[in-house]
Amino acid sequence: MPIDPARTFVPVRIAVLTVSDTRGLAEDRSGDTLVALLTEAGHILADRALLRDDADAIVARLHGWIDDPAIDCIVTTGGTGVTGRDVTPEAVERVADKMIPGFGELFRWLSYAKIGTSTVQSRACACVARGTYVFALPGSTGAVRDGWEGILSTQLDSRHRPCNFVELMPRLKER
């Protein structure tokens, strides 16, 4: 997919949320990977947090960031599996105005090439919530790389053609 060099790159202000019962920020390799990828791409780390797998706490953090005008986009890592403690997709659905089903579908398609049928255990998802994008990726560093390099790096690049998420940002709150 082409990047149009005649277009201006617009940095996106991205908040990163890691969801984990087993890690702290010091051990958060997937969050570190995500931060490195987004800043290397020229985007701005707007905020970062780590929360346990608690849907109410995740929803509260997402609402706070969604209502923050200094944040354009939220990317979460972790909590997208099928165990009883994995609640990130449910939290995303609770804040969503519009789900973006193609994100999860494309993530699993890309992931299948690397991990085969194990990709069915991923419930990666995305939505628009009050004008803010929310993307939920699995918690492994490989999954974070796949989601960023395979989808988000181009969809969050204002120069990407034929279309991208950035050019839609001014219109996300239209009614």
**Per-residue pLDDT reduced to its tens digit, 101-152:** 999 999 999 999 999 999 999 999 999 999 999 999 999 999 999 999 999 9
Upstream peptide bond of 170 is cis (omega within 30 degrees of 0) = no
pLDDT of residue 24: 87
Please name the helix (run of DSSP H) or strand (run of DSSP E) that holds residue 153, with its range, or none: helix 153-155
Question: For the purposes of burial, counting CB atoms within 10 Å of the CB of 121, is it exposed (0-12), middle (13-18) or buried (19 or more)?
Answer: middle
User: Which comes out higher in pLDDT, residue 25 or 95?
Assistant: 95
Query: Among the residues of 6-122, which ranges form H helices?
Result: 29-40, 55-66, 88-95, 101-115
pLDDT one-digit tens code per residue, 25-40: 889 999 999 999 999 9
Q: Where are the beta strands (DSSP E) in 73-171?
A: 73-77, 98-99, 125-129, 132-137
> pTM for this structure?
0.97
Mean pLDDT, rounded, for 93-102: 98
Q: How far apart are CA 111 and CA 104, in angstroms?
A: 10
C-alpha span between 64 and 67 (Å, rounded): 5
Mean pLDDT for the stretch of residues 52-68: 98
